[in-house]
C-alpha cells in the first residue's frame, strides 16, 4: 500500500523554522534609523546571512509546486544580504570611509530588499501549507 505524504514532517518543520527565523532576524537588523550605525549591528547582519543561506540550502530539496518560487525568493535575499555585507566591508576595511550615513543607508536598503524577499517567501509558504491541508 502506498504511503500518503504527510504535510507536517520534520523536514518541513525545519524548512519553515529557518524561513521564519530568516525573516525575523532580517527585520531586527532592518528596524531603526536608516542611516545610524548604532541601530544596526554587524553581528546581526552576519546571523541574517547565515540563516538565509541555511534556508536557501533547505529549499534546494523542496519538490513542491511552489519550490522554484521559494528558492528564487531565497536567492534574492541572499544576494541582497551578501551585497550589504560587501558594502559594509568595503567602507570599513578597504576604502576607510567608515560607516557614514550614506553607506549605512545603502546597507540597510539592501537589507530591506532581502526583508521583502523573506516576506514573500513566508507568504508563499503559508499559501502552500494551506492548500496542502485541503
**Would you state the cell numbers that stand for residue 131, as one nine-digit string?**
492548500
Residues whose CB is less than 8 angstroms from the CB of residue 104 and which lie 6 or more positions away in sequence, other chains included: 34, 35, 36, 37, 40
Q: Tell me the whole-structure pTM to 2 decimals.
A: 0.86
- Could you state, in order of their start, the residue ranges of all structural domains in the chain? 11-33+40-133
- C-alpha span between 53 and 88 (Å, rounded): 19
Backbone torsion region of residue 4, taken as left when φ is above 0, otherwise alpha when ψ lies between -120 and 50, otherwise beta: beta
Tell me the pLDDT tens digit for each residue of 88-134: 999 999 998 889 999 999 999 999 999 999 999 999 989 988 887 65
Tell me the pLDDT tens digit for each residue of 24-72: 999 999 999 999 889 999 999 999 999 999 999 988 877 788 889 999 9
**Would you state the cell numbers that stand for residue 4, as one nine-digit string?**
500518503
Amino acid at each position: 500500500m502506498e504511503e500518503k505524504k504527510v504535510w507536517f514532517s520534520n523536514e518541513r518543520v525545519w524548512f519553515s523554522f529557518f524561513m521564519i527565523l530568516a525573516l525575523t532576524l532580517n527585520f531586527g537588523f532592518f528596524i531603526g534609523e536608516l542611516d545610524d550605525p548604532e541601530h544596526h549591528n554587524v553581528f546581526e547582519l552576519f546571523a541574517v546571512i547565515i540563516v538565509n543561506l541555511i534556508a536557501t540550502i533547505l529549499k534546494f530539496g523542496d519538490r513542491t509546486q511552489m519550490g522554484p518560487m521559494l528558492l528564487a525568493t531565497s536567492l534574492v535575499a541572499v544576494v541582497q544580504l551578501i551585497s550589504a555585507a560587501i558594502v559594509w566591508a568595503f567602507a570599513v576595511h578597504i576604502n576607510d570611509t567608515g560607516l557614514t550615513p550614506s553607506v549605512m543607508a545603502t546597507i540597510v536598503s539592501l537589507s530591506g530588499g532581502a526583508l521583502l524577499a523573506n516576506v514573500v517567501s513566508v507568504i508563499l509558504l503559508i499559501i502552500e501549507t494551506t492548500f496542502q491541508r485541503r
